Structure 1
Amino acid sequence: MVGPKNLDSASSPSAFYGAEVRRLREEKGLSQSALGELVFCSGGYIGQIEVAVRKPQADLSERLDKALDTGGHFARLYPMVARTRHAAYFARVAELEAQAVTISQYAPTLVPGLLQTADYARAVIRASDPFFSSGEVDDKVAARLGRVRVVDDPAAPLLWVILHEAAIRMPVGSGPVMAEQLRHLLSLSETGKLLLQVLPFSVGAHSMVEGSVILMTFAEAPPVAYIEGLHSGQLLDDPILVGRCQRAYDVARAVALSPAASLALIESAAEEYAHE
């Protein structure tokens, strides 16, 4: 069963919601399992809500209000928890990134959002839908850069990223934009927060060929995997499926270039873009 961890209740609406569930549950003298029985869910799910690993639903908020006699407290909090600047299918992933102990990601065509510069992010977002207004692009860039703060946090998760060589060779924006982006990756690698590998074209077909994946581990909750497609994504917490994703990632990591060789390739590409 998941227990509370050292989570700042002001870090997000979900964290505050979870802290309130814990506070009011303990005031009633209820265990996580006992409260779960009252609101028709597992004690483990209650625990995951308390540490902001899982997000509550509207109907559960109403049942919590009834079980804990809050006068509608959680129903009022729920809209803040549900509101997000990210796409609906990705919102939960963005929250989990800030709580993870480790994040492992395979990126087949683009530099991952957590590692993007502002100009690179703008070029990606603009290319994804040319009908976005300037204001919409600005909002999406701001949301993406908000995720980047996870990397800058002193308690940031350890990052292990495998980039396919296509993400380095495919120009996004101008040559200077690409040069800045690749140099940003080199700079992050020097901080000790990011371990970066490149999967070269020469590998051919490989274990991750079907798409991108993010794997996250937590201090007091089970690992999850996130698989993303075109305007859609799926967050997986089934241990068997997460294990299969981890195994595929491990195989890709084994055939990728070493970190040193990867950084040399990225540095070379950055120089090429800088002189375009």
Structure 2
Amino acid sequence: MPGPKDLDPSSSPRAFLGAELRFAREKSGLTQDELGQPLFVSGSFIGQLEAGTRRMHLEYARQIDEILGTEGFFTRNCVAAAKSKYPDHFAEAAEAEAVATTIREYAPLLIPGLLQTEAYARAMFRAGHLTAPEEAIDELVANRLARSQLLDDPTTPLLWAVLDEAVLRRRVGGSAVMAEALAHVAALGFRHRVIVQVLPFDAGAHVALEGSLKLMAFEDAPPLAYLQGLGTGRLQDDPATVTQYELTYELVAASALSPQQSLALIESVAEDYAHEDQP
């Protein structure tokens, strides 16, 4: 089995801490499982910290300093690494998303953030922050669009999204905004940059009716699942739990239209919205 690849410490504070953690652990002669035991976490969790796919929280940093004798190094540096431009419930998932090789997402209500246009994101954030000043909305939109730069690379990450038909029918920002937003999603699909499927209303009940699901796979770390609710989110790393969510996603995708049928439907609905704005 190949060893972990060297990380670029300059790529992010999280990657820097991960590289230093691996160095300090190996210097102490501990395996990932052995370091995880006194922290009451799995060896795979330590591996995720070292690979930069999980954020090191302060309570872990303090214990790691004590176990590895690193004289407060991780305690001092994890504070800077914890700073994020994203909400607390989503920050760790956004950081993991940025280094994922594969992202699979089921979206029951909204176009996934990585696929949103500026106008769609602005309408969505304004609806959720009715009294926020315009500067705050501008910052939220800018952060959302910055995430979508992940797709500037022609191949990585692989993004596969299953959209509930409700995503297409819910008028976020009005018909012109929806026409542009869906045309953008369709264009990414026709360029073969993303895989998009639509789960039609007539599919009826399915295994993911209760909420959204994002699955992330990595080159040198175990996969993660992220579940988001109203103002809350949870990152799952337990292997058995993630495996169950992977099955959930596969069942949803199996019930959805094919990518070709889905793109045709998305394009058709986009054209319907566009025609509504014509005199």
Output the TM-score relative to the length of structure 2: 0.89
Map residues 20-31 of structure 1 onto 2, 5 A cutoff.
20-26=20-26, 31=31
SS at match of 1:275: helix
**In structure 2, distance between residues paired with 1:262 and 1:71:** 56
> For this pair of structures, how many residues does the alignment match?
276
Map residues 98-247 of structure 1 onto 2, 5 A cutoff.
98-154=98-154, 156-247=156-247
* Pair 154,65 (structure 1): closer, same or farther in 2 beyond 3 Å: farther
Give the counterpart letter for 1:190 in structure 2.
F
* Pair 4,154 (structure 1): closer, same or farther in 2 beyond 3 Å: farther
* Pair 56,193 (structure 1): closer, same or farther in 2 beyond 3 Å: same
Q: Does 1:95 align with 2:80?
A: no
Partner of 1:61: 61
1:93-144 Cα offsets, whole Å, 9 max, x none, are 1011122221111111110001111111111111112122212111111221
SS at match of 2:242: helix
SS at match of 2:99: coil
**In structure 1, distance between residues paired with 2:45 and 2:249:** 27
**In structure 1, distance between residues paired with 2:80 and 2:191:** 35
Q: CA deviation at 1:67?
A: 4.4
**In structure 2, distance between residues paired with 1:67 and 1:142:** 41
1:148-182 Cα offsets, whole Å, 9 max, x none, are 11222345211111101111111111322111111
Output the TM-score relative to the length of structure 1: 0.90
Across the aligned residues of Structure 1 and Structure 2, the Cα RMSD in angstroms comes to 2.4
* Pair 38,166 (structure 1): closer, same or farther in 2 beyond 3 Å: closer
The answer to whether the 8 A contact 2:48-2:222 is kept is no
Give the counterpart letter for 1:84 in structure 2.
S
Q: CA deviation at 1:189?
A: 1.1
Q: Which moved more, 1:227-236 or 1:23-32?
A: 23-32
Map residues 263-274 of structure 1 onto 2, 5 A cutoff.
263-274=263-274
The answer to whether the 8 A contact 1:93-1:235 is kept is yes
**In structure 1, distance between residues paired with 2:164 and 2:111:** 9
Partner of 1:46: 46
**In structure 1, distance between residues paired with 2:117 and 2:12:** 23
**In structure 2, distance between residues paired with 1:257 and 1:43:** 39
SS at match of 1:160: strand
The answer to whether the 8 A contact 1:2-1:44 is kept is no
**In structure 1, distance between residues paired with 2:99 and 2:133:** 32
**In structure 1, distance between residues paired with 2:117 and 2:38:** 47
SS at match of 1:90: helix
**In structure 2, distance between residues paired with 1:117 and 1:37:** 45
Give the counterpart letter for 1:261 in structure 2.
Q
Structure 1: runs of 5+ lacking an equivalent: none
Q: CA deviation at 1:70?
A: 4.0
1:233-253 Cα offsets, whole Å, 9 max, x none, are 121122232222222221221
Q: CA deviation at 1:31?
A: 4.7
Give the counterpart letter for 1:200 in structure 2.
P
The answer to whether the 8 A contact 1:39-1:67 is kept is no
Seq. identity, %: 49
Give the counterpart letter for 1:117 in structure 2.
T
Q: CA deviation at 1:36?
A: 4.8
Structure 2: runs of 5+ lacking an equivalent: none
Partner of 1:11: 11
